[in-house]
Amino acid sequence: MRVLLADDHELVAQTIAAYLRSEIHADVTVAPNVEEVLQMVAHQRRFDLILLDLNMPGMNHLEGLERVMAAAECARVAIISGYNGRIVAEEAVARGASGFLPKTIAPVSMISAIRLMAAGEVFLPFSSLIAAEVDIAAAPLTRRELQVLQGICEGKSNKEIARSHELQEVTVKLHVKTLSRKLGARNRTHAAMIARDRQLC
């Protein structure tokens, strides 16, 4: 199995790489940023699985994921991160990632997940993500959620909101779902009503 592990934290990257070489005899290449990943792929280096750290240079949230997927074509591409966020994990998979791998995952589980993704399946560690997630209802709305909420208040469709903010429609749907849960809204109309009452839009 050929794996490309991209992470700007050298100690973490080398530790994971060494473990994969030892446990499953994987051929692991390490890169520190998205640009080097793209260079490797451009030089026709083929990988069974590409793991991208969510916060390394060039990622720009999940834009780096889409760039690598477009360049790598047949390779499976997944996100690896020290942040166990369910929303970003769901968004990554919605954009086409093969999975989301928390760096806190147990070593044995990491091996299973990597084999699964390399074989063409999608991996999302639901149990650990749910356990690690804070009470979302008590969390404040993010800047992007406020932008989406403003669009809802203006009567825009998900497609129109996505176009306004250069997002994918599926990403907007995830934001609508999350902000509705935070506001305790039953639907879009209810979310708009609550937003106006709270002077959020």
List, as own/partner pairs, every contact residues 170-173 make where C-beta atoms lie below 8 angstroms and the sequence separation is at least 24, other chains included. Answer: 170/94, 170/95, 171/91, 171/94, 171/95, 172/148
Instruction: Examine the fold and report which residue of 85, 111, 132 is the final residue of a domain before the chain moves on.
Output: 132
Quote the number of domains for the chain: 2
Residue 13 has pLDDT above 90, yes or no: yes
116 and 187 share one domain: no
Q: pLDDT grade, residue 86 (50/70/90)?
A: confident
Q: pLDDT per residue over 125-172, tens digit each?
A: 865 455 444 445 556 788 899 999 999 999 999 999 999 998 898 889
Q: pLDDT per residue over 95-138, tens digit each?
A: 899 999 988 888 999 999 999 999 999 998 865 455 444 445 55
CATH classification of the domain holding 150: 1.10.10.10
Q: pLDDT per residue over 40-80, tens digit each?
A: 999 877 899 999 999 999 999 899 999 999 999 778 999 99
51 and 70 share one domain: yes
Domain of 190, in residue numbers: 137-197
